[in-house]
Chain A
Amino acid sequence: MSIPNTQNKSSIDLLDFIQERATIGTWEYNPISTILNWSIQTKKIHEVPLDYIPNVEIGLSFYKEGYSRDTITRLFTNCIENHKDFDIEVQIITHTGKDKWIRAIGIAVVENDKCVLVQGLFQDIDKTTKDSKKLAFKELQLRRTFETALVGMAIVDLEGNWLEVNKSLCETFGYSKEEIEKLTFMDITHPDDLRKDYKAMMSMISGKIDHYETEKRYISKQQETIWAQLSTSIVRDDKGQPLHFVAQINDVTEIKKTSKKISQLLTTTEDQNKRLLNFAHIVSHNLRSHYGNLDMLLDIVKMDLPETTDNEIFPLISMAVNHLGETVENLNEVAAINIQKDLKTEPLNLLENFNRAYSSISALIIDSKTTISINIDPNIVVKAVPAYLDSILLNFLTNAIKYKKPTEPAKIEINTRIKDRFIVLEIRDYGQGIDLIKYGEKLFGMYKTFHKHDDSRGLGLFITKNQVEAIGGKIEVESEVNEGTTFYIYLKTHE
C-alpha cells in the first residue's frame, strides 16, 4: 500500500473526503530526514491546530503512558529497523487532554534493504471501541447476574436441551453443570407435568404466547420431587425466528412443605373444634340427661320411700348427685365460652358492675368481716359481655375472700389503671398466697386447687380466664405465700 503524494486536485479532494468521513488520517515519516508528516485528519484526531508541525518524539508522546506508548515505540522502532509492518489499537491523549482509542497502521518502504519511508494510517476508533467495551461490560454484568442469581436460570434450546445453566439451578436439582448439560428439561421434569410443559413450549415456538409461567414438579438427581415456579420466555432473532428459551426456576419445595404443614394443622384444628363442639353437645345433653334422671329419681325416693333416706348413705348420694350436676354445669359453661363465636360485647361501667357484684355477696362480706377498699374511677367503661363481667368480678371477689389467711379476716384492695388500650383491674388480697413457682402453670388449669378448702373445686379460675380471654382481655398474677395475691385483669376499654 502506498499513499500517492502527487495526484491531481480532484483525487486529493476525494481522499480528503474519505479521510474525513472515515475519520482516517495518514502520516509519513522519513527516517533519513527525520521529518514526520500528518495529514489534516490525523491532526484533527490529535486535536492539534492545522499548522502544527509534529516530530517523532512529540508524535510518540501523544500515546498514553505505559502500555500504549511502550507498544507504539517498540513497533515503530521495529518497523524502521526490521521493516516489520504494524497494526495496533492503543490509546492516545489528545492535545486537549482527551483519552482516545486509535488504530495505528505503519508500513515500511524499503530500498536497498533500508527503510526509506514509513507510511501509515491513523484512525479514530474511540467510539466503536468504547461502545464494544461498554457492551462487553454489560455482557459481563449479565453473566455475573446469571451465574450468581439465587434463582435458577437457564438457556434452553428449542429441543429442550440445557444450553447454559447457573449455579443455583445445579444446586436445586443436584446435578453438576456438565451432567445437566447432557440432559433435556424433559429428563428432569416430573412425568405428570410433562404434557403441560410440552404444550406451553409448542405454543411459544408457534408464537401463540411469548411467556409462560407455571408451578411444576421436577425430579432431582436424588430422585426427590422438587416443586418450582417456572417462568419461561422465548427469544427470537430479528426475523422473528425462535432461537431459544430463557427460563427462571425458583425452588419452592420448602414453601410447599410448610404450607402443606400449615393446611394440615388447620384441618386438625378444625377437626378438633368440631370434636369440641361434639363434646360440648355431649356435655350439654347426654351427661345432663343422666344427671337429670338421677336427681329426679332421688326426689321420687324422698317422696315415695322416705324411710330409705333416713341413713348416712342417702345424703351422701344426694350430695354426689348435686356435685355431678354442678360439674356438668361448669363444663358446659367452659364449652360454651370456647364455642361461642360472635360474643355480644357492650360498653359497661366498671364501677357500677363491680358494685353490683359486691352487693350480691354483701352477706358473705359481712359474715367474714372482710374489709374491701375500692378505688375504681367511676368514668371507666370497658367492653365486655355483661354475664361474663359479672362472673369475672364475682369469682375474683369470692376467691379473695375464700383464700384469706385462716387466722384473720380478709383484706382486699381494688385499684384500676390504664395500660395501652386496656383497663387493668388490680385485685389484691393479703391472704394465703400461691406458690407460683410450684403451681404457676396450673393456676388457670381445669380442676386445679392449691388450698385445702372445702369449697375449692378449682374450676372458677379456669372459667374466669376463659371468659376474660373471650372478651379480648388477659390475666396476670403476682403472689407470694403468706403475703397474698394480686390479680391483674386486663379488660378492653370501650372506644
Chain B
Amino acid sequence: MNKIDVACIIDDDPIFVFGAKRMMELSDFCDSFMVFKNGQEALNSLKPIMIAGENVPDIILLDINMPIMDGWQFLDEFVKIESHKLLTIYIVSSSIDPVDINRAKRYKTISNYIIKPISTDTLKEILQIELAK
C-alpha cells in the first residue's frame, strides 16, 4: 500500500477544496475523496458510514471556520461516535491564532494542526506518517 484509500475534506471554501483535491491527485495521495461543506453535512454522512464500517475514510482534513457547524462543534459530536479512533483528523486552517492552535491540542483525536496553504510537501509528509501506521 502506498497511498491512502479515502481522504475526507471538510471545508466550506470551494477554492481550497479544488486546490486540495488537485494537489492530492498530483501527489498521488489517495484513491478517492469525500468532501463536505460543513460539520453538519459531514456528520450526517459519516455517522452511518462509520456504523456500517464500510468505506470509512482514513483521514479527515478539517477546517475550523465554517457555517452551520464549525470544526470544533464537529469534533465535539464526532468523538461521540464509537469507532472515531480509527480515523486520523488533521485541522487545516488559515488561522495562526495561538488560541486556535492551543485549542486543537486539547483534542486527543487531532493528529496535527496544519496552517494553510497546504503544499504537496505537506501532503507527502502526511502520507508517510499515515502509511507508517
Contacts and interface: CB of A to CB of B under 8 A. Distances in A.
B98 to A, nearest CB: 8
Contacts of A304: 22, 26
Contact of B19 (A284, A297, A332, A336): A297
A300 B22 contact: yes
A421 interface: no
Interface stretch (B1-9, B74-82, B102-110, B112-120): B112-120
A288 B95 contact: yes
Contacts of A303: 26, 120
A292 B116 contact: yes
Interface centre among B13, B23, B93, B94 (most CB of A within 10 A): B94
A281 interface: yes
A332 B15 CA distance: 23
Contacts of B98: 336
Contacts, number: 58
Nearest to A280: B97
Contacts of B20: 296
17 contacts: A281-B97, A285-B94, A288-B94, A289-B16, A292-B16, A292-B94, A293-B19, A293-B117, A296-B15, A296-B16, A296-B19, A296-B23, A296-B117, A299-B117, A299-B119, A300-B22, A303-B26
A284 B117 CA distance: 13
Interface in A61-102: none
A285 B116 CA distance: 10
Interface in B60-76: 65
A309 B1 CA distance: 34
A461 B76 CA distance: 43
Interface residues of B, number: 20
Interface in A274-307: 281, 284-286, 288-289, 291-293, 295-297, 299-300, 303-304
Given A296-B15, A300-B22, A303-B26, 9 more contacts: A285-B94, A288-B96, A289-B116, A293-B15, A293-B19, A296-B117, A299-B117, A299-B119, A304-B26
Contacts of A297: 15, 19
Contacts of A299: 19, 23, 117, 119-120
Given A293-B15, A296-B19, A285 B26 contact: no
Contact of A289 (B13, B22, B23, B26): B13
A339 to B, nearest CB: 10
A300 B19 contact: yes
Contacts of B15: 293, 296-297
Contacts of B65: 285
B44 to A, nearest CB: 25
A195 B9 CA distance: 68
Nearest to A286: B94
Contacts of B19: 293, 296-297, 299-300
Interface in A325-354: 332, 336
A293 B13 contact: yes
A295 B97 CA distance: 20
A304 B19 CA distance: 11
Interface centre among B93, B96, B98 (most CB of A within 10 A): B96
Interface in A250-276: none
B101 to A, nearest CB: 11
Contacts of B96: 284, 288, 332
B117 A300 contact: no
B116 A288 contact: yes
A332 B98 CA distance: 11
B16 to A, nearest CB: 6
B117 A292 contact: yes
A293 B19 CA distance: 8
Interface string A218-262: 000000000000000000000000000000000000000000000
A296 B94 contact: no
Nearest to B121: A299
Interface centre among A291, A300, A336 (most CB of B within 10 A): A300
A292 B117 CA distance: 4
A285 B16 contact: no
B26 A300 contact: yes
B97 A284 contact: yes
Interface in A137-171: none
Nearest to B27: A303
Nearest to A300: B22
Closest 8 CB pairs of A and B: A292-B117, A289-B94, A292-B116, A288-B94, A296-B19, A296-B117, A295-B117, A293-B15
